[in-house]
Structure 1
Amino acid sequence: MMNIVVVGLGEMGASLAGILNTQSDNYVVGVDINEQSLRYAIENNLVSAISSQLCDVASQADIIVLATPITSIEKNMHQLAKMVLKENVIITDTGSTKRDIMAMAEEVLTPINIKFIGGHAMAGTHQSGVIYANKHLYRHVTYFLVPSSISDSRRLQVVFKPLNAKFITIDIAKHDALMAIISDVPHIVAFALMNTATAQLGPATLFGQYAAGGFKDTTRIAASDSKLWADVLLSNKKAVLESQKQLIKQLDLFSQAIENNDEDTLITLISDARQSRENL
């Protein structure tokens, strides 16, 4: 029997727990500070047991999944470093940036021979909470794994096989630079565009009825969890700021072309973007 503890029963953690809990050789324990989330998870068979305290269940775990916001992941690692755990336990996470998390793992877990594997699946929506658990959430999506200096990811991949994800090992710098441009900055764009619209037009209730697909598609992720995304952006600060600089350069090119009535440049900029989007 594989004992799996999932800490954090939001969309990502609850989905992972629910998928793994369907396997007869797994015993999944859900940990969350929200009693309603725990109750929903056990009543809907997403987990086999629940606890509000990690310390009460960690000692029996073969795998511990930290599926909380990044600052909480780091706090949990400090707590786990002080607990008596199984000798071969694997700790992994679902954080969308890896530099700070992996540095923390090397600082507090590696010296005491606890195996940590950084994890991040390119899954999830702008929704949050256990009620959005989805048994198909990880199917065919890229699931990045970042082993620590004393671990590899093969055993974890075996346990996570029911997710039907595509596992890819990647280094920290490449992962965080990639996330900055394909995930972090797009969220900033959505947040900024939504704030700009309300600043110019007033509350969304006043102009929302006129908004077409382009605006709605671009701002969909502006509905994301604010605390989670503040943590993500601050934890990937260097890569995010560099990617934002590149975006600002592109916006400046559009501004200059419009200011100069330069139709040829506008056509080139738009055509390049269209071709790249078609290749995506």
Structure 2
Amino acid sequence: MTNIVVVGLGEMGASLAKILTAQSDNYVVGVDMSEQSLRYALENHLVSATNSRLRDVASQADVIILATPVTSIEKSMQQLATMSLKKSVIITDTGSTKRDIMAVAEQVLTPMNMKFIGGHAMAGTHQSGVTFANENLYRHMTYFLVPSSISESSQLQTVLQPLAAKFMTIDVARHDALMATISDVPHIVAFSLMNAATTQLGPSTMFGQYVAGGFKDTTRIAASEPKLWADVLLSNKEAVLASQTQLRKQLDLFAQAIENNDDDALIALISSARESRENL
């Protein structure tokens, strides 16, 4: 029997718990501050048991999965460093940025000889909460694993095999630069476009009936959870700012072409983007 503790029963954590609980040789404990979330998880068989305090269940865990916002993950690691845990316990997380998390792990967990492996799946939606638990959320999705100085990624893959994800080992710098461009800045674009539209046109209730697929597709992720994304953007600050600089350059190129009535430049810019999108 593998004792697994999942901290944070939002969409990502609840989905993990549901998938792992379905395996008869796992005993999954869900930890969350919300009594309502804990009750829902237990009543809907997403977990084997629940608790509102990590400290109460950590000592018996073989695997601890921290599935909360980045700043909360860091606090949990600091707490775990003060607890009496199994020598063989594996600690991992689901944070979408890794630099700060891995730094904290090396600082507080490595001296305690605790095994930590960074994790981040390219899964999830703009929805949040335990009610969006989905047993297929991770299926065929890339799941990045970032080993620490005292733990190899292969130690975690066996436990997470039921997710049917595509596991890939990656280093911290590469991961965070990649996420800044393909995840973080797209969210900023969605937030900015939505805010620009309401600034120019008024409340979305005033123009929502007129929007078509392009606007809806581009702003879908603007419905994401604010605190989570504030944490993500601040924890990946350098890479996000660098990616934003590249985006501004592209926007400037479009602005210059439009201002100069430069049809050829616009066609070239759009054609380049179209070709890249078709090859995506």
Q: How far apart, CA to CA, are the structure 1 residues paired with 2:186 and 2:249?
A: 15
C-alpha deviation, 1:153, in angstroms? 1.3
Partner of 1:173: 173
Q: Which amino acid aligns with 1:133?
A: A
Partner of 1:151: 151
1:7 equivalent in alignment to 2:7: yes
Q: Which amino acid aligns with 1:72?
A: S
Q: How far apart, CA to CA, are the structure 1 residues paired with 2:63 and 2:112?
A: 16
Q: How far apart, CA to CA, are the structure 2 residues paired with 1:155 and 1:222?
A: 36
SS at match of 2:29: strand
Q: TM-score, normalised by structure 2?
A: 1.00
Partner of 1:66: 66
Q: Which amino acid aligns with 1:206?
A: M
Q: Which amino acid aligns with 1:98?
A: K
Where do residues 94-243 of structure 1 align in structure 2 (5 Å cutoff)?
94-243=94-243
Q: Which amino acid aligns with 2:105?
A: A
CA-based RMSD of the aligned residues comes to 0.3
Partner of 2:264: 264
Q: Which amino acid aligns with 2:161?
A: K
Q: 1:199-242, CA deviations, whole angstroms, 9 ceiling, x for partnerless residues?
A: 00000000000000000000000000000000000000000000
Q: How far apart, CA to CA, are the structure 2 residues paired with 1:215 and 1:79?
A: 43
Q: 1:149-197, CA deviations, whole angstroms, 9 ceiling, x for partnerless residues?
A: 0000112100100000000000000000000000000000000000000
Q: How far apart, CA to CA, are the structure 1 residues paired with 2:39 and 2:200?
A: 43
Partner of 1:50: 50
Q: Which amino acid aligns with 2:20?
A: L
SS at match of 1:275: helix
SS at match of 1:160: helix
Q: Which amino acid aligns with 1:219?
A: T
Partner of 1:90: 90
Give the percent of matched residue pairs that are identical in Structure 1 and Structure 2.
79
SS at match of 1:145: strand
Partner of 2:249: 249
Q: How far apart, CA to CA, are the structure 1 residues paired with 2:98 and 2:155?
A: 20
Paired residue total? 280
Flag structure 1 segments of 5+ consecutive residues without an equivalent: none
Flag structure 2 segments of 5+ consecutive residues without an equivalent: none
SS at match of 2:92: strand
Q: How far apart, CA to CA, are the structure 1 residues paired with 2:160 and 2:171?
A: 20
SS at match of 1:30: strand
Q: Which amino acid aligns with 1:130?
A: V
Q: Which amino acid aligns with 2:166?
A: K
Q: Which amino acid aligns with 1:227?
A: K
Q: How far apart, CA to CA, are the structure 1 residues paired with 2:254 and 2:159?
A: 49
SS at match of 1:20: helix
SS at match of 1:120: strand
Q: How far apart, CA to CA, are the structure 2 residues paired with 1:97 and 1:156?
A: 19
